[in-house]
Structure 1
């Protein structure tokens, strides 16, 4: 079933973006293979990340590893032609792996997904961490434990994978060396060129708006956007008392390397007292306090915007 999986130990390189504490840096890859992709979707896609920032993208349609902004502006980060060839080799192996797993379950005509996620990190205390795992149809499949070291099967079909990958000790040692030596070495090299992009601090712009639906309470929305890094805190107050929000603090990518978040409160129609939106972010010397005063505007549909100084 899985003899073709062996080269993955040599070809797969750095997983999903996570909030990264100050002084921590990570290099990770997310691979996704689809047996029956929808129209307009590639059957294979690889996305590389530096911390929570998409670094480059490759897919089975373009067959090119292409840097994403702002990394395309940084010279010397990578040989993109060579990287494209490497990703093409990984695509071939990855998709063959998906086919073999489907054959194991005797479901060659179904719609299935295979994902690989792996990478490493360098911490401020000079320690390092790493992970390497696979999932089939959204369920854990197999993962590498570098402390044993060994592949740990998490699915019946993965027993065959473990047996094949551990038939010779070199494959286990090669995986361990990749996570502990090669991946951190690549991350160190990337940081020499682009650490300033990961350490940057972009202050949020803030927009306040009001909306009143017929027969309902008035809604005040405080939107913070164009900020980096990701962590932010937003809340409304009235006369110094914190107001209960109608929405959680969801933080989403803006598509340009920054983030956006918002907080919403409901206000009775008869309540015209001033409200204040408070914004806390590491880029700000002190929290922003943006006042919403209904008497300053025309009510529903009136909004205001505050740019960071």
Structure 2
């Protein structure tokens, strides 16, 4: 397996921690394919700061390109250097695909094969840091770097030869560790400084709880959080203060077009017990959890509790009814009054377990 140099490994920085210590992450992904085609370059590199794409290079383009406004703080020399480095990676990774195919006895066999590499570092909320490196082949783990040992871990026999070669190179191992523990974190801090207005902002979630009755069957309650940033959030359903985790379907935390996130969670219950259920929302940026409390079906008054303060809000069909889709049924709202409908909440799709991770 050919060696791949770390991103920006020839540079050294000395920076202080950002005002917001985390959690934040800097990650790079490399992908090489055996059979490129339209819309599928032979080699691609992308970089993410937290969940925001900021760096892109592919073998069909003109060079490394910025993908976030804040990274344009770096001048032409930065992008020229990144293009030069990425082109070097391109040659190495094209060879890595062929070597991996030999390990798996796939040489000469037509078909699409991928070789991938992910590495980066993270800055945790307590100020501690951590790094990671991992190789993959055809969607399966190939090698991963254990920073504690430090050694490479091979989950399959096909990767044992590569593991032995990389572990035997002590100089390479020290370079890998130094990059993850020091240089990567320094670049993470620098990029956070560039994008702090976007990446270190705090947007609290707008909440909406809706319900749907199945004729002669159970009621489905859906709790939706919308427009929050960063992406950390925990939605749960409680019955008389006790978690109903085993009965809850979740939709994951997904991005909105404006850079914020949304999430939802549903639960099935006996219609006679809907007043016993509470949607409980926790985030690191909230001093206290948000609790949405159900009122009576068909009534206009809805109760919700935010940070210990309870208020009465209008529901669908009341004074804010014009801005709401009345087909969503009864529920509670908070600003903004209208939250987009998502699959799984108001059309029954949340009852399909295959959609739990959508």
Whether 1:34 aligns to 2:33 is yes
Cα distance in 2, alignment partners of residues 290 and 61 from structure 1: 50
What CA distance in whole angstroms lies between the structure 2 residues aligned with 1:145 and 1:177? 13
Q: How does 1:161-200 map to 2 (within 5 A)?
A: 161-162=162-163, 164-165=165-166, 169-200=170-201
Kindly indicate whether the alpha-carbon contact (under 8 Å) linking 1:30 and 1:118 is maintained by their aligned counterparts in 2.
yes
Aligned to 1:277: 279
- Which of 285, 301, 304 in structure 1 is aligned with 2:328? 301
Is residue 2:8 matched to residue 1:9?
no
Deviations 1:89-115 (A, max 9, x none): 323321321112213433132432322
Q: 1:258 aligns with which of 252, 257, 260?
A: 260
SS of residue in 2 equivalent to 1:9:
coil
Please give the root-mean-square deviation of Cα atoms over the aligned residues, in Å. Answer: 3.8
**Cross-structure match for 1:16:** none
TM-score by length of 1: 0.75
- SS at 1:180 equivalent: helix
Give the aligned length: 295
Q: Check whether the contact 2:234–2:282 (CA below 8 A) recurs between aligned residues.
A: yes
Task: State the 1:128 CA deviation.
Answer: 3.6
Q: Residues 181-228 of structure 1: CA distance to partner in whole angstroms, max 9, x if unpaired?
A: 332332232233234543322100112223234443232211101112
- 1:80 deviates by 3.8
2:101 aligned with 1:102: yes
Q: Which runs of 5+ in 2 are unaligned?
A: 10-19, 301-315, 318-325, 338-358
Relative contact order (alpha carbons < 8 A, sep ≥ 6): 1 or 2 greater? 1
- In structure 1, C-alpha distance between the alignment counterparts of 2:336 and 2:276, rounded to whole Å: 21
1:45-124 matches, cutoff 5 A: 45-62=44-61, 64-68=63-67, 71-73=68-70, 75-77=72-74, 79-108=78-107, 109-123=110-124
How far did 1:148 drift? 5.5
What is the distance in 1 between the residues matched to 2:219 and 2:101?
Answer: 53
The structural deviation recorded for 1:53 is: 3.8
Instruction: Tell me the SS of whatever aligns to 1:103.
Output: helix
- Secondary structure at 2:29 match in 1: strand
* 1: CA distance, partners of 2:291 / 2:148: 49
- Using structure 2 for the length normalisation, give the TM-score: 0.66
